[in-house]
Amino acid sequence: MCPNMRAFFLVFCVAGTREIKQVELTGADIFVRCLAEQGVEHLFGYPGGAVLPIYDALYQQDKVQHVLVRHEQAATHAADGYARSTGKPGVVLVTSGPGATNAVTGIATAYMDSIPLVVFTGQVPTALIGNDAFQEVDSVGITRPCVKHNFLVKDVKDLATTIKKAFYVATTGRPGPVVVDIPKDVSVARAEYHYPKRITMRSYNPVSKGHPRQIKKAVDLMLTAKRPIIYTGGGVILSNASRALTELTRLLEFPITNTLMGLGAYPATDRQFLGMLGMHGTYEANMGMHNCDVLIAIGARFDDRVTGNVEKFCPTAKIIHVDIDPASISKNVKVDVPIVGPVDQVLKEMIKVFKESEAKPDAAALKAWWKQIEEWRGMDCLKYDRDSERIKPQHVLETLYKVTKGDAFVTSDVGQHQMWAAQFYKFDKPNRWINSGGLGTMGFGLPAAMGVQFAHPGEQVACVTGEGSIQMCIQELSTCRQYGLPLKIINLNNGYLGMVRQWQQFFYDGRYAMSYMESLPDFVKLAEAYGHVGMQITRPEDVEPALKKAFKMKDKLVFMDFLTDPAENVYPMIPAGAGQNEMILV
Amino acid sequence: MRHIISILMENEAGALSRVAGLFSARGYNIESLTVAPTEDESLSRMTLVTNGTDEVIEQITKQLNKLIDVVKLMDMHEGPHIEREMMLIKVRAMGPAREEVKRLSDIFRGRIIDVTETMFTIEVTGTSSKLDAFVEAIAEADIIEVVRSGVTGIARGEKALRV
């Protein structure tokens, strides 16, 4: 049956001699039509009672592909991975009650990293709201602190407009997740269908341009700099401003460092790139920050993992801060030249102002600054024992970089492996490094990788994980099987919750409380049980051949269980509360 | 420092909880909060009294502005403004105390709006500090109940908070 046939329901109202023809659709059909019109290709979700009418409508169309996950948390992470790798909003559909609460972790993950998601939650019928009905939770209330905005649709007449608003809010300004709660009776009720092309909201007008005078002021300050550094975050990637950032940085010949969220915004293999900064950032990046006289912060939010002790942060610097969100400016660190605006537009304007300006950066001062930076770089702070008889996790990541020619999409979970991936996989392009930076959500990696693979079917997608994190969403191996997702899972298995163990070693006198992972499954058999390929790699010399072999299997998910050195730590490290110049080196 | 922040927001269910949630999540203080619809029924006006350093107040106004339901806001302390709060206070008033309570109420331009043989209910309007002063002054009497409306405020002169 043609999907649209059923969707069109004609109501004939006969009033006297007049006949009024009106096209009415059910809320569920309106929902599906809106998504199609919005250009949504993938909808990650899980059915349940309150969304049955919507699933019924989905069943009868072929425009929006529904991806069935195995847990609602994975639906949100998959949509998140999809969004991070494409710049398009990720879309989720879950049922009421536990469906919504399971999705919360993924919503909060997206919120902390400003990722555009639109999450539809089913709700009990409006008449039952507040009655403690079966599978009822106050989804709007529960998600309120971790969404950019949320809506409860009480009338089917408002459904299409609300969906439009949700996409508009999620994707503009500083992006973020938006939840739309749809009671079951709203999905069943009928209304005229009209999806607005454009929408305006009097209470929401994100800035579209940075202030020209502030931009001029910033460029002037940059030109006086003797020890400048550019520090950029996820905002550059979200604003699609990588090209402009690269151009400006090269014009100025300033050193640049990226946050964990900002990796890939500037080519990591470039000489001007100092690596990641922050708690596990490089020596040269952190020392550069600490000693700079002009700090150019772009689309970054002075997170505590970046600043360390704010009292000791960049003590000699004048600070320029470009951000779309006024609330990010002077939140943690007071800045001298604030610029509120879209990063891409502001950077382009800076390039223009710079090119028009007569002045040039102070070449002599920059030369001396670079000399100092090269000295710091010479410390080789990421060195590790390359002759070890055990597999070093760093070696696995370096080899992954080599085997994938630096061109894979890499998702990660949270912990040591995440830091090593950030340090050792050199991202030359944006949207390739997909990780939960703000919330630090274990279990993110595998479902996020699924979302990435759906968005980029032919590409290499690797999930770097650990034996702790992978078990938090391991059930998604089943989803991967169902949809034939040829992910490559790099499990850095050291038998410990490595980052917890590292902190216990450093700060709790080696009392390893609950950081030891006992009773691990046989990951090879587990992968096989799900219909995938499993490998276990125990010797350093087998790392490269195994990775090569795995990436040659283009249509298979390969789960690589690397048994790595349990004693390895992530260096350098700025202990919590210390200054950026107070790093623990190897 | 104490600030009065006036907020025009969409008259939507849950708008109040967004503001209240923001304050609790970020650890800001709320001294008082009042909200009611305006002449435009699609808008509510909230008046919120908070305190904090200049940096904190700056963050509060930025975070409030970030809420999608907030249409516009004004920190009353940016210019001259008028502040009013109303209080209803019920005191036991018998014998000689009756006259004393009445006298005090007159001094504060209060109005006695309900009388029984043993009780006075007094309405007093003014700034919060005036109401505080009245409560303090009348403390000798037996205070049974105090109800305060929370602060409302409006800018003086031409300046206005409107869409």
DSSP for A436-484, written as a single string: --SS--TT-HHHHHHHHHHHSTTS-EEEEEETTGGGGSTTHHHHHHHHT
HSE-up of residue A571 (Cα within 13 Å, Cβ side): 15
Count Cβ neighbours within 10 Å for each residue of B42-72 and write b for 16 or more, e otherwise: ebbbbbbbbebeeebbbbbbbbbebbbbbbb
Contact at 8 Å (CB) between B112 and B105? Answer: yes
| Paired sense of beta strands A149-152 and A177-183, if any | parallel
HSE-up of residue A108 (Cα within 13 Å, Cβ side): 15
Whole-angstrom Cα distance, residue B54 to residue A312? 22
Least CB–CB distance from B71: residue in A141, A203, A330:
A203
* Residue A311 C-alpha, separation from nearest chain B C-alpha, in angstroms: 15
Tokens of A96: 């009421």
The 3-state secondary structure of A160-187 reads: HHHHHHHHHHHHCCCCCEEEEEEEHHHH
Tokens of A544: 């490269």
> B86 has which bridge partners?
B125
Q: Is the backbone of residue A569 left (phi > 0), alpha (psi -120 to 50) or beta? A: beta
Whole-angstrom Cα distance, residue A339 to residue A346? 8
Contact at 8 Å (CB) between A160 and A30? Answer: yes
Closest CA to A296 of A223, A370, A365, A356: A223
Contact B66 A325 (CB under 8 A): yes
Query: Is residue A135 among the annotated active site residues?
Result: yes
- Which of the following is catalytic: A499, A535, A560, A583? A499
Sheet containing B32-37, strands listed edge to edge, beginning at the edge strand earlier in sequence: B32-37, B43-51, B2-10, B70-75
């602190």: which residue's tokens? A145
Query: Is residue A72 among the annotated active site residues?
Result: yes
Closest CA to A568 of A449, A412, A420, A413: A420
Contact B65 A326 (CB under 8 A): yes
Whole-angstrom Cα distance, residue A311 to residue A292? 15
| Residue B42 forms contact with A (CB below 8 Å) | no
Whole-angstrom Cα distance, residue A43 to residue A83? 12
Q: Please state the pTM of the whole predicted model.
A: 0.94
Closest CA to B65 of B30, B27, B18: B18
In order along its 586 residues, chain A shows pLDDT tens digits of 444 444 444 433 334 444 445 679 999 999 999 999 999 999 999 999 999 999 999 999 999 999 999 999 999 999 999 999 999 999 999 999 999 999 999 999 999 999 999 999 999 999 999 999 999 999 999 999 999 999 999 999 999 999 999 999 999 999 999 999 999 999 999 999 999 999 999 999 999 999 999 999 999 999 999 999 999 999 999 999 999 999 999 999 999 999 999 999 999 999 999 999 999 999 999 999 999 999 999 999 999 999 999 999 999 999 999 999 999 999 999 999 999 999 999 999 999 999 999 899 999 999 999 999 999 999 999 999 999 999 999 999 999 999 999 999 999 999 999 999 999 999 999 999 999 999 999 999 999 999 999 999 999 999 999 999 999 999 999 999 999 999 999 999 999 999 999 999 999 999 999 999 889 999 999 999 999 999 999 999 999 999 999 999 999 999 999 999 999 999 999 998 899 999 999 8
Contacts of B10 in chain A (CB under 8 A): 203
